[in-house]
Structure 1
Amino acid sequence: MGDREAEPTLSRTELEEITSKISDLNKWREIFSFRGLESNNSTHQPGQASSSNGLPGDGDPMGPQPPLPPTAVPKPLLVPPDTGGRPISLEMAMRLRKLLFGNTSHLFSCEWAQAYFRFREPYSDLAYALEAEKGGTRAILMAVQAHIIKYLLFIRNTEYTHLERLCRTSQREQGEALAVALADTLWAAGGGGSAVICLLTPTLHLVPNGDYRPDSFTERIQLFEFFEKAAAQEFIFDHINCFKGEGSHGVILFLYSLLFSRTLERVQEDLDSTATPLLDISFGNITCTQAMLSLLLTGRASPRELDGGQELGRGGEAWWRRGPVGYLCWDRAQAERQVCRGLRTPQLPIWLCSLSGRHSVLFGTDSRLLSDWKTEKVFHLYFYNGQWEQRKTAHLTIDTHSHPWEEDPCEDPSTPGKRRPPLEMAIRTKWAGATVSWNGTEPFF
């Protein structure tokens, strides 16, 4: 009896304390699961999606990847509720989903859910560059990449512009450049007067009903509105890991921020009251439409904003706007389609390129290239397509007068001699008759 009475027993208070700790453990397990982190010691295989909360794409990105070093505990990807801002409402979430997909039940694919702004290694040949998978998110990543290059080459205080400057980019400068690029794009969408930044909280803000299908992501959005560009840029930099951290779903966060910066009402007006969504869904793939590209490049979601036929004003006079970043396009199936002159001739020599539907960036390091005709005789451009296989920036030499490129009008377009790299064809939509040298690099796109 004495030995039995000596056995330890737990009081009610101790039991309640243990129960509370278990509850806290479950709460953190839910948060880590939402962020795409593993809560045990098992190995997460590349390409597998986390199914702990039903959100697709919380696994590792698919495709060729560099070896990853052992990771420490990542910085928070969720902001606490007391950060400020206002939570998304069910009405806002439904309108957002309709603008993107045309209905309230469609969800982002794994490819989109796992996409974020991931830089190459600092102080390397591609230190300035974002990685982009071969999918629909590539257009958004490369559009932001164009603004990153704009900042690193032409905006920040440096003595000269040269490709070597991009190779010397540090990890902190990568974050700064990304913050500036995101802020610039959001500010343009807001008409130069405001910007809205979307971040995630651990708390669900709405209870779905009707036809709305929850994704455990949109329902956690918190909106922060700014009326000074510098303040928006600083806020993004302070929370930069919410866009560039693994598991952050940073591309979707930026996309939501872009639409709310423009306002959902104005986006609908830009679309001319049509029912055409901003994202195209074909055979399970989700890609950006012309209207989405227009929003990224001009701040307006007009499906005809990129069209060269829109260069006549109301009175029939020619007009065109030059933005800081341009756009070049080539597709053999739509060879007659022309990009508006304002986008072919931007303020700075940086272009988002659409090459047979694949997006990349073309840029020069001479800020005078598009303002002094004498510089356009023989000049250099650089090309990056976002793919991990590309290990060095491609160097192209453009000659617009010595050896004009000529087509044989009698040659069948289907013959091998007529098939030239899409990038060269896109360049010739800007400089007709130019010859393009890849300087020893095998042409690619």
Structure 2
Amino acid sequence: MSARLAVVDDEAMARKRLGKAFTRDGCDVALFPDAESFLEQSGQAPFDVALLDMRLPGISGLEALKRLKKHGADTEVILVTGFGSLETAIEAIKLGAYHFVTKPAKLAEIRSLVQGACDKVAMGRENRRLRQALREETGLESMIGASQSMREVFELIRKIAPVGCNVLIEGASGTGKALVARAIHRLSTRKDQAFVSFNCGGFTEELISSELFGYEKGAFTGAAATRVGLLESAGGGTVFLDEIGEMPLSMQVKLLHVIQERQILRVGGVRPIDLDIRVIAATNRDLKQEMAKGLFREDLYYRLNVVNIRLPRLTERKEDIPLLARHFMDKYSLLFHKVVGEVSPQALQILMSYGFPGNVRELENIVERAVALCDSQTLEVADLPRDLQQMDFASVEGERLESLEAVERRHIARVLARTGHNKGLAAQILEIPRTTLWRKLKQFQLD
């Protein structure tokens, strides 16, 4: 047995006995008469395992455990007490204790518990090492998924990333289109050059033109100096054009020229500038329908759609929900200095049954909120948003009536999902004015 072990006990004889025994076993042992000195030392260099007495002068063992876990320490804690009760044991485990043992405990029993805690620490480190090695090897460290549909996406990314062709990514809002674009860039021969992102939605032609192409000094009122555009600044790298379906037709013509001629002309400029970029575009619209309506150029579509990557909705890969939830719990536990490592079966059942109109982005938002509110190491139903808590699942709460607001929210989310988030069509199906739908989306945080 080789580990950094802390023995925290106000009884000198008990401290010395355990310290001597585990030193013989090969542990690096530190002895503490109180929780304050232990916590101070642990803050400087965390221990692998701590044998922590419940009743201590000053800070109690339970309070020390709470503070230790609050600051994200990986230390496995075995609580020792001469006044054991079932309630205390349950509270200790909920706070993140590895085990709870009542005095007088045999040395063999304590040895077995410490060995198990050491094995858990070692396994956790090895898992983190393997995950990091796998991420570095694949270049897909920001993308989570084990479903067949996502494995196919990962394989396609690996195939086309080194090729250098243009790519069109299609998928609903929140499915991870920007993550795919960045993964392609990281795995490409352009990975050491710039990755420039631009959202084409909601801007005028003039603003898009000046942002993408730049402008010469004096090109228009206020152009006091020459400005390099985003396309030019990405020279040698990758340009990611998000929501390409919302680009005005007049700008589509200019973008087509850039892709065909590999040159740009700054606003107010007269000299073409050679360009070496890879274009990755993304959309949540059906561009073939947009072409049929005359809203998207066919020639530009085929220039962009050399390789097409379609991202599935979260409801199409539900088996990834536990993996994603765990990933987001780890992310926000670190950010919020908490240790939330598990989801209760009831909470997970709700997540698995929910429709997620906002896809992975909505799941991340739900988990972020839950981790912020969670008071233990396990995410419970009470930590989820109220409308999710009220969802009617016989396997979770038995028969339970939903509020009218929850039913309305769920129905609107379902209609939006079925219509591909086409708000005009959704309003017609719901038989309400678009302004009313807009207010409902704001009210239910579905926009």
Indicate whether the TM-score tops 0.5.
no
What TM-score, normalized to structure 2? 0.21
Whose relative contact order is higher, 1 or 2, with alpha carbons under 8 Å and at least 6 apart? 1
- Structure showing greater Rg: 2
What TM-score, normalized to structure 1? 0.21
Specify which structure has the higher proportion of helix: 2
